[in-house]
C-alpha cells in the first residue's frame, strides 16, 4: 500500500504537467479544428529558455526565468500561428497538420544546434520530505502548486473575463462571433499565446522533475494529445482530467511493467479511446465534430 500511495502521488505530479500542455491543444482545436503537433516542441523550447536564462547565459533566479520563458514562448506561439497556420486556415485539413509537424522538426533542430543534443539538468537544489509513507521533493511540491495555480487562472480567464467570453464565442462559432463584432484574429492570437505560455510552463516543470533533451517535445506531444482525446476534443476541462488519468495510470503501470515501457501506456490509452470512444470520456459526437470549448 505504501508503494501504491507513492505511485498515486507521482501520477498526480505527472498529470499536472501534462494538463498544462493539453490545455493548449484543446483550446487550439476548439477554434481552428486542427491538432497543433508542434505544441510539444514549443514546450521544449520554453524549458530550454529557462535553462539558458538560469544556467548558461544570465544566471537569473529560476522564478524570473520561468516568467520570461512563458512570455517569450507565448510570443513564439503567436509568431508560429501568423507565419505557418494563418495562411492555411482555408486549406484542406492535411495542410496545417503537415505544417505543424514541419514546425516541430524545425524547433527541435534549432534547439539541437544551439544547445546541443546531450541531456541537461537545471541547477536547482531541493529537499525531500516524508509525509507518512510518501516521499516528495520541494520541486514536486512546486510542480503541484504551479499546475493548480495555472489551471485556476485559466478557469478565471475563461469564465470571468471579456477575453474569456470572446474565446468561448469564437470556439462556438467563429463566423457568428465575427458578425457580433469580435476580432477573431486577436482571439486566435490570444489562444496561441496562452496555450504556448502554458506549454512552456509544462516543459519547464517536466524538466525540473526529470531532465532536458531536445527530443522531449515528442513525449509531451503524445501525452498531451492522448489527454485531449481521452477527455474529449475541444473540452478543456476534459483534457485536464484526461491528463491526470494518464499521469496516474502510467505511474501505476510501472508496478506491473518495466519502467522502460512507461511511455507506451499513453499510446495504449490513445488507441483504446480511438477504438471504443472517439469522442472521449467527457465529450460527445457533436462536441468532437464542432470543437466547442467547454
pTM of the predicted model as reported, rounded to 2 decimal places? 0.90
Cβ distance 21 to 46 under 8 Å?
A: no
- Please, what's the b/e burial string for 154-169 (b: 16 or more CB within 10 A of its CB; e: otherwise)? beeebeeeeebebbbb
The 3-state DSSP class for residue 131 equals strand
What is the Cα–Cα distance from 148 to 85, expressed in whole angstroms? 30
Whether 283 maps to a domain, the answer reads no
Query: Which pLDDT belongs to residue 292?
Result: 44
Q: Where are the strands (E) in 89-176, listed by range?
A: 128-131, 134-137
- The yes-or-no verdict on residue 40 having pLDDT over 90 is yes
- Note the pLDDT tens digit of each residue in 47-79: 999 999 998 878 899 999 999 999 999 999 999
Q: Where are the strands (E) in 132-236, listed by range?
A: 134-137
User: Could you tell me the sign of the dihedral formed by the alpha carbons of 58, 60, 63, 68, in that order?
Assistant: negative
Confidence band for 281, pLDDT divided at 50, 70 and 90: confident
* Mean pLDDT value across the chain: 89
Whether 276 maps to a domain, the answer reads no
Cβ distance 70 to 200 under 8 Å?
A: yes
- Structural domain of residue 210, as residue ranges? 2-216
What is the Cα–Cα distance from 39 to 36, expressed in whole angstroms? 6
- The yes-or-no verdict on residue 110 having pLDDT over 50 is yes
Confidence band for 291, pLDDT divided at 50, 70 and 90: very low
Whether 289 maps to a domain, the answer reads no
Whether 293 maps to a domain, the answer reads no
Whether 248 maps to a domain, the answer reads no
- Provide the grid cell at 155: 478557469
Query: Which pLDDT belongs to residue 286?
Result: 54
Query: Which pLDDT belongs to residue 141?
Result: 93
Which of the pair, 34 or 66, is modelled with greater confidence? 66
Total count of residues recorded for the chain: 294
Instruction: Please state, for a pLDDT cut of 70, what percent of the chain lies above it.
Output: 96
Query: Which pLDDT belongs to residue 197?
Result: 96
- The yes-or-no verdict on residue 262 having pLDDT over 70 is yes
Whether 254 maps to a domain, the answer reads no
Query: Which pLDDT belongs to residue 174?
Result: 87
Q: Average pLDDT, stretch 243-263?
A: 84
Q: Average pLDDT, stretch 199-227?
A: 92
Whether 151 maps to a domain, the answer reads yes
Which of the pair, 33 or 215, is modelled with greater confidence? 215
Domain count, the chain: 1
- Provide the grid cell at 255: 508496478
Cβ distance 220 to 203 under 8 Å?
A: yes
Whether 73 maps to a domain, the answer reads yes
Amino acid at each position: 500500500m505504501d508503494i501504491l500511495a507513492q505511485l498515486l502521488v507521482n501520477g498526480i505530479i505527472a498529470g499536472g504537467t501534462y494538463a498544462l500542455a493539453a490545455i493548449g491543444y484543446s483550446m487550439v482545436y476548439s477554434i481552428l479544428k486542427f491538432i497543433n503537433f508542434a505544441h510539444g516542441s514549443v514546450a521544449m523550447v520554453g524549458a530550454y529558455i529557462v535553462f539558458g536564462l538560469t544556467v548558461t547565459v544570465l544566471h537569473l533566479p529560476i522564478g524570473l526565468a520561468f516568467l520570461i520563458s512563458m512570455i517569450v514562448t507565448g510570443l513564439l506561439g503567436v509568431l508560429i500561428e501568423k507565419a505557418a497556420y494563418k495562411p492555411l486556415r482555408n486549406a484542406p485539413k492535411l495542410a496545417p497538420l503537415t505544417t505543424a509537424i514541419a514546425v516541430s522538426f524545425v524547433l527541435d533542430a534549432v534547439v539541437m544546434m544551439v544547445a546541443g543534443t546531450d541531456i541537461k539538468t537545471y541547477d536547482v537544489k531541493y529537499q525531500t520530505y516524508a509525509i507518512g509513507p510518501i516521499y516528495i521533493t520541494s520541486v514536486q511540491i512546486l510542480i503541484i502548486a504551479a499546475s493548480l495555480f495555472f489551471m485556476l487562472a485559466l478557469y478565471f480567464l475563461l469564465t470571468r473575463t471579456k477575453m474569456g467570453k470572446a474565446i468561448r464565442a469564437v470556439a462556438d462559432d467563429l463566423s457568428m462571433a465575427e458578425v457580433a463584432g469580435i476580432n477573431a484574429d486577436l482571439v486566435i492570437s490570444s489562444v496561441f499565446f496562452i496555450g504556448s505560455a502554458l506549454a512552456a510552463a509544462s516543459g519547464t516543470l517536466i524538466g525540473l522533475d526529470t531532465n532536458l533533451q531536445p527530443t522531449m517535445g515528442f513525449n509531451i506531444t503524445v501525452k498531451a494529445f492522448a489527454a485531449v482525446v481521452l477527455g474529449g476534443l475541444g473540452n478543456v476541462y476534459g483534457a485536464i482530467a484526461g491528463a491526470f488519468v494518464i499521469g496516474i495510470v502510467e505511474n501505476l503501470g510501472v508496478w506491473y511493467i518495466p519502467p522502460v515501457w512507461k511511455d507506451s501506456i499513453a499510446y495504449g490509452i490513445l488507441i483504446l479511446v480511438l477504438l471504443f470512444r472517439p469522442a472521449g470520456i467527457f465529450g460527445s459526437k457533436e462536441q468532437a465534430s464542432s470543437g466547442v470549448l467547454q
